[in-house]
Structure 1
Amino acid sequence: MPTLTINGRDVEVGDEFLHLSPEQQNATVDEIAHSMGVHPAQADAPQMGAPGVVNGTGRAFATGVPILGGLADKLDAATNATLAPALNGLFSDKDQLHGDWSDRYRQALSAQNGADQGFATAHPVLNTGGQIAGSLAAGAALPVAGAGAGLLARAGTSAAQNAALGGLDSYTRGGNPWEGVTLGAGMGAGAGAISHFGRSDVLGSIARHLAGVGLGAAGGAAGAEMEGTDPLAAAMTGAATGAAGEAVGAAAKPVAAGARALEENAGANLTDRAFNARDVATQKVAQILANEGLNSGSLSEKLAQMGPRATLMDVSPTAVQAAGAIGAEPGRGQTVLRDFVQNRENASGGRVADMLTQAIGPRGDGDALVSALDNERRQAAGPLYESALTTPVQDSDELQSIMKTPAFRTALAKANTLASNEGRSLYAPTGESGMHGPVMAPDVANMTLQDLHYVQRAMQDNIGEIKAGAGFKDNELSRSIAGVRKDLLAQMDGMSPEYQQARKIYAGASRVRDSYDDGFKAFDSSTGENHLTNDMMERKLAGFESQSERQAYLLGARQRISNIMGASRNNRQRAYTLFGVGNDNPDFENQQKLATLLSYVRPAANQEAAQGAIQDDMRQRLGYSIAAPEAEPITPESVHGPDNPLVDAHGNALEPESEEGQAEIARRIAHAETEQQAAADLLAEQKQAALQFSGPDRARGQAAADALLNGLKTERQFGETKNEVSGDSKTARRLQGRQLIAASEVNLPSSVPTTVTRVASSLANAVVGSAMRRRADAVNYEMARLLAGSDTRLAAPSGPKKPNGKATPQPDPIAAALLRNPGIRERVDTKNSIAQALLTAAITQANMNGSR
């Protein structure tokens, strides 16, 4: 029931008092005062004059503080009533408090209320302003509950918080606490709903308004049920207070916008800050990620898989749609995105080349390597052949048996042609005559190993000329010739150990050279009978006799890849095709072959190390040596000259013949020798590493292959992103993307008739088109900066794991994501504090008016 304080005495009246007009309420108060024996001229308590401006404004400020403001005069009165017996002697009779404690309290409270009323009468504007200032200051200090929660949760939490505030404040001021509860709940629901991180579309705004009004109505009806009054009327009142709360929440926005305009972190310029572009853009990007179900954990994982240059538009299909739409709209956002993807695209070829270098070794000079291997073979075997080939042939029964075979006779004819070119003949008359003249036979007595060498080479040529039978080259005839040749070579080796050593060196060097040629064909995409499968490559690599052969095989494959890529470093598409990036053909084995190759051989640091390792290995295995070229000597002339003047530590020129000049030359020579030795030591380490092999390391090979393939897939995605942003995407995707960004013009729904749409849109754009274009440019510019970045805070946090392994659900992932940004959180907190301050002031003023 309402309580009136009349001359320091509390009098309870019925609820019907509240429904009287102001004139009727004043008359009723006079009648009650008269019945109490109190007359207007009578004063049973000391009267305080109206306080001064400073004191009165301070009292008004304190009175405006919610809850505590309603207790301020009462606490002062209680203090005065308690101390009056001891202090009355210090005051005149008219200022003394008399009676028991209750009488003294009523007298003191009447004096406090009289002072407040006197200041309000004398200075109504200052009094009201002071009260509002007190409410604002206290409200700004109140915590804002429910930040980051969902729409209903945020409105409900705000309703509960402000219902408690309104009820307690109304009670301390002597008003009806249930009315304070209803008022606080309704206005709190409205302000809470409008402060929620809502969407900028029409439906989102309607939902917020309905939530605020609806919760206010529900609170009013519930309060009416508790008091036993009319629920319908109370619900209508609650709905009105909910709408008022929305108005208060909306009023906080321009105030917060003014503060935001001064904050550099809120936008690139004043215009952008006025449109709240940075926060709106952040909300839009957060919405994109939330719609795809991406949280900070899954987003971080996707970005990590693509490497440090990956952006949101590379890992999110919806984000790249939005980027494509911004790229199609002239403005700052288009410039940001197009410049970014073009700059990244320009460096893509170099990155692909670096990835290939990391996986299979640096790009080399194939012709130089082949020439070096051929020279190595020639230098090692040539002198031995030259010495051995002059050895006379030693006849034997085994040799005569070989010479009678058709394979030998056929090859002898070719060998005789070579001898004839030198002015010799491999035949001699037998002394018999035939149909065509004297019978000729091999002249073994005059033959040298050079002649038999011609024969065995002719046999080798004949084997190669035999056409494949039934799809196989090593048929019976070729195997038969090969057997005769093997027997002949055994005879020749027995005649000359030098020839045997020369053949060993030549054959060993040829295996390395052939390995290079085989590697050149490792990744050919042919599917015919000569197609190299992964199993075939495995057997080949396992069958090599030395690691130098495997290293040569890798070098051949690397050279082939370089040739396929071409001279242009930016020709990445060929690398995608070569390794099947974007190819879903399950029979395409180049990816598996890459892993197999890298499991058997580790690429050398450079071609010099690879070539040196191969040569060192061949010389050690095959038992020969070739003198290494001597290092270029370091002389005084090589450490100073016109391009490298001789100077001291301070840059002063030195004469070479001077003592200081000689000392500087000696220092430079020592330094150059140290560097030369360090380079030699490094090369030795690199050569040794190129030949390390203890069996196939499949884990390393697969990891190296995966790193290359993932890198190529990433670069391919970068290219697709670039095409999207540059306007090369499909029209449908660009249209879908426009719904994700800030619109630069008014577009009515397609459900509206076309004629109406065209006319209405034209009129709307004529009115607000310029502002919308500026806002769209501001928001889309900020969106472009976010989409071209990799800030995982734009996604909702992953959330803690429950014991059953499930993540704790987030009530509002978008709000949760936005509040992870310190700048946005600070601006939201500022806006919420302003809104709560305004709301507190409104509730407090309503309670003070109601108590009066």
Structure 2
Amino acid sequence: MATLNINGRRVTVDDGFLQMTPEQQNATVEEIAASLPAGSQPQDKPAAGRHLSYEEGLKELEKEDLGSASGRVGAGLTGMLEGVPVLGPMLLGGTQRGAAALTSAIEGSDYDENVKEAQRISEAAKEKHPRINFAGQLAGNVGSMAAGGSTALGARALGITGRSLGTRAGASLASSALISGADTAARGGDAKEIVGSAAIGGGIGGAIPIVGAGLRRLGQAAGEQISPFINAVRNPAQEAERRVGAAITRDVSANPTMILNQADEAAARANNIPLVNADRGGETTRALARSVANQSPEARAIIENTASDRFGAQSQRAMNFVRRLTGGNADDLAFQENLRQTARATNAPAYNAAYRDPAAQQVFTPRIQQLMQSPTFRRAVDMVPRKSADRGAVSGAREIPNPFTQNSQGQYVLRQRADGTLVSPNLEFWDHVQRNLRSFSDKAARAGDNTTASEITALRQALNGDLDTAVPAFQRARQGAAGFFGADDAVDAGRNFANTPRGIPEAQRAWRGFNPTERQAFATGYASELIDKIRASPDRTNVISTIFRNQASRESMEMVFGPQRMRQIEAYVRVEDLADRLRGSMGNSTTARQLVELGLGAGAGYAYTGDISGGITGALLARGTRMVGQRADARVMENIARLLSQDNPGALRGAVQLAARNPSYMQALDRLSNALAVPARSGALATAQ
């Protein structure tokens, strides 16, 4: 059976048509055409009479059908089926056989002939429309690969995804080799052809992830250099946030122990240490601060003012901190005197024994007589009745009368009793005199008059020296364990220890000899001396380094204040130290700043890429686009300086989140990489065929 297209109508003729001569076939066709009424439907039944040869009929078929839209669609569909890897030949053959079976069922024609006819039509369509057929094959190949790559398992098998570049390359090599070899086998290739296809497909497939990663990194590197400049022009504030966030993120990853934690934040609040966002980073963040300060005078002014103002208040914060360690009264003279009186009361038996000593009843040595020439000494003598009454009101002791009086010439002489005997001063009287002298000395020192304080201290030491010689029991009562520290009492012992730390083991033995009251007095004297040392420090001195940072000071403080308060000291020192690092990071010389400013943008490149090549590239890019981006870059610098100089953890968290996002150019690279992953592997398969 054969089908002819006559005047746009399909007419089926019997096999006899094919046996006719060409003249008979032409006559038969003309007869059939004349018999077809105008507007009638195509005839699908055999026509008797004249027949066309197969070759002529096929030419007619190709001329009419294969050049039509249906022919182009057929060529494309044939290519799509044929292009499916491995399964393509089976799918195309199955489709042809299905069409032949349907035709045989409808027309009652021979199935094998219909199969051959379908195959002939497919081949003819491919020859008529080769481009459409190739496009169909490509679509079938890519589409089938994309379907597999769209699943998690398929993407890993094809090497689109994976833990590492090596994993992806290995998976792509194996899958490409397997599919290429199987596809060649499915299309009838021999063993040699199968091995060759597998080798070519595997080689190309294994190279695809490596080449793709290289291209992606190249695009990323270009974006890393160009993106900051573009972002600076487009949105300086956001670009500043991104750079700060990137620096903070790198610091957290590199050395989290040098980043402020929650305990540090609490210590800062407790001690009124004003933190800023720069303190919450590490070396990279401070390098960014230094970079923008070197490149922008406005940014430098913002950061330096913040750091300088905070450092200027460091001494006051340190003094307040030491006061809090001892209850807030370390440098209160009245509080110190009360501690001394409490300690004396605790040690009253020893003092009373000294006062009762026979040698203590009359003490007026030639040296003491010489000391009476001092107006300050005489003032201390005159105050004994009043001060002894005040002290006695607390301890229960009686007022001590003054054994001296002034004659007509204003000289101090001993009083006479009614019987004419002289009233001789005793040890208890002179003890109150030396206590009054100590009060004078403390007040002068607190007022900053160190010369007067030293002179009065010399008077007191001279008096005590004679008293100790006359009544040794007085020295033992007065000093106790404080004698190890070269002091008359626990408060002075603490002061002396702060100035001249003794060997810690020996000091600890003496410390254990103190009773609880004396230990409190010792700690108060120690803290008071620390405060005085801080107060006397030159302006702009880092008192944290001079007072707290050396090993001897730390060991002394732990002995005096105990482990618990030592932890408070360590926390305070850590936060002050971290806070002061911002000021230290501004230490570049003017020459260094000028050299950096010649390459405006280099710091930004370094901060973003994290290596010197980024800095060099940033400098070159900035040099070439200086006139275009200088103003935008300056705005970025100022925004960075403001963000680092403010105490706003929320803004810092936002900056970190912004830096964590994939930049838009990286998102585009990812999308492009994913989009090309399947076609690239399809190309590997096509090349192997």
TM-score (norm 2): 0.52
Which of 544, 557, 560 is the aligned partner of 2:514? 544
In structure 2, distance between residues paired with 1:90 and 1:842: 44
Q: Structure 1's 832 and 120: CA in aligned 2 closer, same or farther, altered over 3 A?
A: farther
Is residue 327 from structure 1 mapped to residue 343 from structure 2 by the alignment? no
Report the secondary structure of 2:111's partner residue. Answer: coil
Is this contact kept in 1: 2:168–2:209, CA < 8 A? yes
In structure 2, distance between residues paired with 1:338 and 1:363: 35
TM-aligned CA deviation for residue 366 of structure 1: 0.6
SS at match of 2:508: helix
Which structure would you say has the larger Rg? 2
CA deviation after TM superposition for structure 1 residue 406, in Å:
8.3
Determine if contact 1:595/1:705 at 8 Å carries over to the other structure: yes
2:682 aligns with: 844
The match for 1:560 is 529
SS of the equivalent of 1:425 reads coil
The corresponding residue for 2:470 is: 481
| Per-residue CA distance 1:277-316 (angstroms, 9 max, x = gap) | 9989988888x87xxxxx94x6223336893569888885
Query: Which has the larger helix fraction?
Result: 2
Change (3 A) 1:318 1:839: same
Aligned to 2:256: 300
Partner of 2:572: 711
Shift of the 481–330 alpha-carbon distance from structure 1 to 2, 3 Å rule, reads closer
Whole-angstrom CA distance in 1 between matches of 2:278 and 2:117 = 72
Q: Which moved more, 1:719-728 or 1:312-321?
A: 312-321
1:167 and 2:180 are equivalent in the alignment: yes
Q: CA 1:82–1:590 in 2, change beyond 3 Å: closer, same or farther?
A: same
Whether 1:594 and 2:548 are equivalent positions in the alignment is no
Give 1:597's aligned amino acid: V
- The one-letter code matched in structure 1 to 2:429 is R
The amino acid that maps onto 1:81 is R
Q: Does 1:98 align with 2:111?
A: yes
Alignment of 1:241-390 (within 5 A): 270=234, 296=253, 299-303=255-259, 307-308=264-265, 317=283, 320-330=286-296, 352=318, 356=322, 359-362=325-328, 366-370=332-336
Letter in 2 for 1:590: S
Amino acid at match of 2:605: A
Check conservation: 1:318, 1:737, Cα contact below 8 A: no
Contact 1:459 1:481 in 2 (8 A): no
Structure 2 CA distance for partners of 1:535 and 1:51, relative to 1, 3 Å: same
AA at the equivalent of 1:417: F
Task: Provide the C-alpha distance between the structure 1 equivalents of 2:521 and 2:178, rounded to a whole number of angstroms.
Answer: 84
Alpha-carbon distance in 1 for matches of 2:168, 2:301: 41
Where do 1:514-529 residues align within 5 Å?
514-524=489-499
Q: 2 CA distance for matches of 1:786 and 1:724?
A: 16
Distance in 2 between residues matched to 1:402 and 1:334, nearest whole Å: 73
8 Å Cα contact 1:321-1:737 kept in structure 2: no
Question: Residue 801 of structure 1 corresponds to which residue in structure 2?
Answer: none
Pairwise CA distance, 1:574: 2.7
The CA deviation string for residues 688-721 of structure 1, in whole angstroms up to 9 with x for no partner, is xxxxxxxxxxxx25xx325424532542343233
What residue identity is the alignment partner of 1:307? D
Mapping for residues 493-504 of structure 1, pairs under 5 Å: none
Alpha-carbon distance change, 90 to 68 in structure 1, aligned in 2, over 3 angstroms? same
> Do residues 835 (structure 1) and 678 (structure 2) align?
no
Which residue does the alignment assign to 1:577?
Answer: 546
Q: Post-superposition shift, 1:598? A: 1.1
1:47-446 alignment, distance < 5 Å: 63=80, 68=84, 71=87, 74-75=90-91, 77-78=93-94, 81=97, 85=101, 87-88=102-103, 91-92=106-107, 98-99=111-112, 104=115, 142=155, 145=160, 149=164, 153=166, 156=169, 160=173, 163-164=176-177, 167=180, 171=184, 176=197, 178-196=199-217, 200=221, 270=234, 296=253, 299-303=255-259, 307-308=264-265, 317=283, 320-330=286-296, 352=318, 356=322, 359-362=325-328, 366-370=332-336, 417-418=404-405, 425-426=416-417, 428=419, 442=421
Q: Please report the RMSD computed on the Cα atoms of aligned residues, expressed in angstroms.
A: 7.2
Aligned equivalents of 1:343, 1:550: Cα separation in 2:
37
Helix, strand or coil at the partner of 2:328:
coil
Change (3 A) 1:460 1:124: closer
How far has the Cα of 1:552 moved from its partner? 2.8
C-alpha spacing 1:191/1:82, structure 2 compared with 1 (3 Å):
same
Q: Give 1:596 shift.
A: 0.4
* Alpha-carbon contact 2:292-2:641 (below 8 Å) kept: yes
**CA deviation string 1:583-621 (max 9, x = no partner):** 5xxxx622211110012xxxxxxxxxxxxxxxxxxxxxx
Cα–Cα, structure 1 residues 575 and 726, in superposed 2: closer, same or farther, change >3 Å? Answer: closer
Q: Provide the C-alpha distance between the structure 1 equivalents of 2:183 and 2:124, rounded to a whole number of angstroms.
A: 20
- Determine if contact 1:332/1:781 at 8 Å carries over to the other structure: yes
Q: Structure 1 residue 558: deviation in Å?
A: 2.9
1:362 maps to amino acid: G
Correspondence for 2:483: none
CA 1:724/1:79 → structure 2, altered by over 3 Å: closer, same or farther? same
Determine what percentage of the aligned residue pairs are the same residue: 13
Q: Which deviations, in whole Å up to 9, do the C-alpha atoms of 1:36-68 show, x marking residues without a partner? A: x99974989xx88966799889969x949x974
Which amino acid is the alignment partner of residue 672 of structure 2? Answer: I
**Contact 2:312/2:540, CA 8 A, preserved across alignment:** no
Q: Secondary structure at the match of 1:99?
A: helix
Contact 1:58 1:130 in 2 (8 A): no
| Aligned match for 2:429, one of 448, 451, 457 | 457
In structure 2, distance between residues paired with 1:107 and 1:780: 77
Structure 2: gaps (5+ residues): 1-54, 190-196, 266-274, 347-355, 373-401, 438-454, 479-486, 650-655
Counterpart of 2:682 in structure 1: which amino acid? Answer: T
What are the superposed Cα offsets for residues 248-284 of structure 1, whole Å, 9 maximum, x if unpaired?
xxxxxx9xx9xx99xxxx97885679x9999899888
Question: Using the alignment, how far apart are the partners of 1:459 and 1:743 within structure 2?
Answer: 71
**Measured at CA, do residues 51 and 519 of structure 1 come closer, stay the same or move farther in structure 2, by a change above 3 Å?**
farther
The alpha-carbon distance between structure 1 residues 483 and 710, as it changes in their structure 2 partners (threshold 3 A), is: closer
Distance 1:711 1:193 in 2: 49
Aligned to 1:559, the other structure's residue is in SS state helix
User: How far off is 1:324 after superposition?
Assistant: 1.8
Note if contact 2:83-2:136 (Cα within 8 Å) is conserved in structure 1: no
CA distance in 2, matches of 1:269, 1:97: 76
Offset at residue 181 of structure 1 (A): 3.9
Q: Distance in 1 between matches of 2:322 and 2:76?
A: 77
Give the partner amino acid of 2:678: T
**Structure 2: how far apart are the matches of 1:783 and 1:73?**
64
Question: CA, structure 1 residues 84+732, in 2 after alignment: closer, same or farther (shift >3 Å)?
Answer: same
Specify the alignment match of 2:10 in structure 1: none
Instruction: Give 3-state SS (helix, strand or coil) of 1:426's partner.
Output: coil
